[in-house]
Amino acid sequence: MKDKKIIAYKNERTKKIAYNLRKLIVRVVMAEWGRLGKEQENKPTLEYIEIGNERGDLYGALQASICECSSCRDTNDDMEYNATLKEWFCTQCAQEYRDYYHKEKEIYGDHYAKVHDDEDFYETFL
């Protein structure tokens, strides 16, 4: 098993607090992202690019955070960190990626890499 970390809350109250905090962070970040988008309108090229870079950094930080699944964007699930990709995935998506890889590997066997160009991606979930 590669470097993985699973965040799973057993206490329902703690789980609810964590999930609500994640939702709040996502809302605040996306509100700021939208505000910057409006600010970006009718700006000279250099300012437009600088604001665009700031928006990109903001969204990239959200994607890399535990606040939402990198695949389905769910905020209300236990999360699994994929160290190779440096991203968080809900445990359901991570399991679906593992299952898909095993199913495809069973079908194609050693020819998997010839049929699919994403083997490295799926192997990070094993």
Which pTM value belongs to this model? Answer: 0.79
Q: For the chain, what are the domain ranges?
A: 4-123
Angle subtended at Cα 76 by Cα 100 and Cα 68, rounded to the nearest 5 degrees: 70
pLDDT of 117: 63
Residue pLDDT tens, the chain, 126 long: 356 789 999 999 999 999 999 999 999 999 999 999 999 999 999 999 999 999 999 999 998 999 999 999 999 999 999 988 889 999 999 999 999 888 887 777 766 665 666 667 777 787
pLDDT of 115: 60
pLDDT of 1: 39
Question: Based on the number of CB atoms within 10 Å of its own CB, is 35 exposed (0-12), middle (13-18) or buried (19 or more)?
Answer: exposed
The CA distance from 107 to 101, in Å, is: 10
